[in-house]
Amino acid sequence: MKKKVAIQGIAGSYHEMAARNYYEGEEIDIIPCITFKEVISSIKKDPSVTGLMAIENTIAGSLLQNHELIRESGFHITGEYKLRISHSLVALPGSSIHDIKEVNSHPIALMQCNDFLDTLPNVKIVEKEDTALSAQWIAENNLKGHAAICGKHAAEIYGLDVLAEGIETNKHNFTRFLSIADRWTADEIMRGAPKNKASLVFATPHSVGSLSQILSIFSFYDMNLSKIQSLPIIGREWQYLFYVDLVFSDYVRYKQAVDAVMPLTKDFRVLGEYAEGKQSI
């Protein structure tokens, strides 16, 4: 039976590439979604569906809304994958880069290619919902003079020519994706699976030194704090939720650290315990 995986984007998107790499060797059925909220809805409608969602990029930073979507959904994180993002400029077959009058793509992809776009001073830059969707739109509507910024794979799917590749400003451009699932499905997936990373969320009392006390405890128990992200709590002025990723080598020490910090926090939740993800080259 094929594994059903909901992603934001369509065939040829970076989410699809990440999903196929993450589930390498397995047959998967991709459920394309226009928005990240639709990914969550797909899992709620069918608990056998898992999701893959981008959570941060080495250049653009964290996708803050996705932290909240995962927390509010009650779903569990079951794994992660880090995909090397390499952008291409693609257009209708026979096009030249000198023919391009308009470039379409997702705003983050456009931002990541600023230096290249500066070499096209007379070209109009237009934001779209998705990288691969931009390529599909150009192909299906036979839009001459238009180009999309997307992955090379999307150009192959939609029959477009690659006019330039590797156009991202920073070549160390990676996006980290999280695999998420309904609680019961996550329990099945993670039964007996290796774990050396955890994602936590909590609030702290509105008092001096409360966060530093918690971080000191993590340090005492030899937890490697690989990420900390704060988000304001709506309706509670100057109070924040802290999203924390811990990497550990000793699961018992990790559990001891969690037990030690829980009494010092509010709204504490373990979002997932999983294996640290591989990184594509």
What CA–CA distance (Å, rounded) separates 143 from 147? 8
pTM of the model: 0.92
pLDDT tens digits for 59-75?
Answer: 888 999 999 999 999 99
| Adjacent-strand bridge partners of 273 | 198
Question: Measured over all CA atoms, what is the biggest interatomic distance in the chain, rounded to whole angstroms?
Answer: 65
pLDDT of residue 262: 96
pLDDT tens digits for 149-207?
Answer: 999 999 999 999 999 999 999 989 999 999 999 999 999 999 999 999 999 999 998 77
Torsions phi, psi for 218 (to 5 deg): -60, -40
Read off the pLDDT band of 2 (50, 70, 90). Answer: confident
What CA–CA distance (Å, rounded) separates 231 from 79? 23
Q: Which of 127, 129, 151 is nearest to 13 (CA)?
A: 151
Residues above pLDDT 70, as percent of the chain: 99
Write out the two tokens for 168: 């991202």
SS3 178: strand
Residue length, the chain? 281
Query: Average pLDDT for residues 203-213, to the nearest whole number?
Result: 87
SS3 23: coil
What CA–CA distance (Å, rounded) separates 126 from 106? 9
Torsions phi, psi for 257 (to 5 deg): -65, -45
Cβ neighbors of 109 (< 8 A, separation 6 or more) are 87, 131, 149, 150
Q: What are the C-alpha distances in Å from 196 to residues 77, 261, 276?
A: 13, 19, 6
